[in-house]
Amino acid sequence: MQKPKVSVIITTYNRPNYLEEAVKSVVNQTFQDFEILIIDDGSKEKYAKDVVNKYEKCLYFFKNNGGVSSARNYGINKAKGDYIAFLDDDDYWKNNKLEIQVNLLNNKPEIDCIHSSIEVVNEKGKLLNKRLGASKNKAHKRSGYVFWNALGVWLVKASTPLIRKKVFNNNKMMFDETLEVGEDTDFYQRMFYKHKVIYIEEPLTFYREYNNISRLSLQNSKYIGLEKKIYNNFVKMGIKNPFVMYKIASKLLISGVNRYNFQFPKSKIKLNLLDKYIYPMRKLKNIKFN
């Protein structure tokens, strides 16, 4: 197989119900220069291997269970393409997603990531007349250098991005494998600091919404305190400007407290002006989200 333009990374763990539909949505793309890497993160049954055997350009990798960040990083290291796309095993794509995004990255060398809104479907794939993304009057704020207007506010929607592989290679910009939840939030906020993006208002991904306690996105209490961990990862990036770190801490502190207060309205944390705007780094470091 020749070197593909795009490496599509699909991670899966004990969730066989929708994987083949996700794979088919890649196989049926109008843009065909890709490889599909199925990263089985230690599933009990080898259902993913059975799916892979049905399709060309599809490669199967099994690893010991380490979480979604570990599985994505494993896929990134195995990928041969110039561009990386992530697809959750219970989501699927519009058939021209890659064509639209590849054309943009090919023609805009200053841009390193293309993302979009999503269309929500139920567990059976039926449209719910629900779209998630920026409102019309704010869509322009999700393109370009978006770091400051995104920090603590929004991130790239699941299964929508196409990213240049050099983002990972040149900056060691990988997913934090110590995070049980919120790894997307952490990764994209850090990526936004160094890279420009383009947002497409048209939904290119179908996001499946259903109630299952095993879905990490529904375990909201586990996200409490995430902002402290994100701040620590910014520290590890070696940002030298103290004003930048102060501003990052202030935004993350406010975001973290808002998250906690929404989850636990009966025991709200109150911030004064000194906490928010004078000593946010100290407050973020010492605050107890429990």
Q: Which of 163, 164, 190 is nearest to 176 (CA)?
A: 190
10 three-state secondary structure: strand
Residue with more model confidence, 77 or 213: 77
Position 227, amino acid: E
Pairing outcome for strands 34-40 and 6-12: parallel
User: What average pLDDT does this structure show over 75-100?
Assistant: 98
Round the average pLDDT of the chain to a whole number and report it.
94
Q: Which of 274, 280, 193 is nearest to 236 (CA)?
A: 193
**What pLDDT score does 211 carry?**
78
Q: Which residues pair with 88 in a beta bridge?
A: none
Identify the residue whose tokens are 């407290």.
257
The Cα–Cα gap between 142 and 6 comes to: 23
Q: Which residues pair with 83 in a beta bridge?
A: 6, 164
Counting residues of the chain whose pLDDT is more than 90, the rounded percentage is 91
Instruction: Specify the CATH number of the domain 6-220.
Output: 3.90.550.10
Lookup: tokens for 159 = 């299964």
Q: Which of 165, 191, 203 is nearest to 35 (CA)?
A: 165
- What distance separates the 2 farthest-apart alpha carbons in the chain? 60
C-alpha distances (whole Å) from 211 to each of 71, 119, 214 are 23, 17, 9
Identify the residue whose tokens are 């997913």.
175
Domain with CATH 3.90.550.10 in the chain: 6-220
User: What average pLDDT does this structure show over 257-272?
Assistant: 93
Find the range with the poorest average confidence among 79-88, 98-107, 257-266: 257-266
Lookup: tokens for 210 = 């259903």
Tell me the pLDDT tens digit for each residue of 182-196.
Answer: 999 999 999 999 999
Does 113 have pLDDT greater than 60? yes
Does 157 have pLDDT greater than 90? yes
Tell me the pLDDT tens digit for each residue of 196-209.
Answer: 999 999 999 999 99
Contact 5, 34 (CB under 8 A): yes
Position 82, amino acid: D
Contact 55, 126 (CB under 8 A): no
Contact 227, 252 (CB under 8 A): yes
Contact 12, 19 (CB under 8 A): yes
Does 171 have pLDDT greater than 70? no
**Residues with Cβ < 8 Å from 124, sequence gap 6 or more?**
none
End-to-end CA distance of the chain: give it in Å, rounded: 52
When pLDDT is cut at 50, 70 and 90, the band that residue 1 belongs to is low
Tell me the pLDDT tens digit for each residue of 3-16.
Answer: 999 999 999 999 99
When pLDDT is cut at 50, 70 and 90, the band that residue 216 belongs to is very low
Lookup: tokens for 93 = 């794509």
Q: Which residues of 181-214 are buried (b: 16+ CB within 10 A; e: fewer)?
A: bbbbbbbbbbbbbebebbbbeebbbbbbbeeeee
Other beta carbons within 10 Å of 226: 21
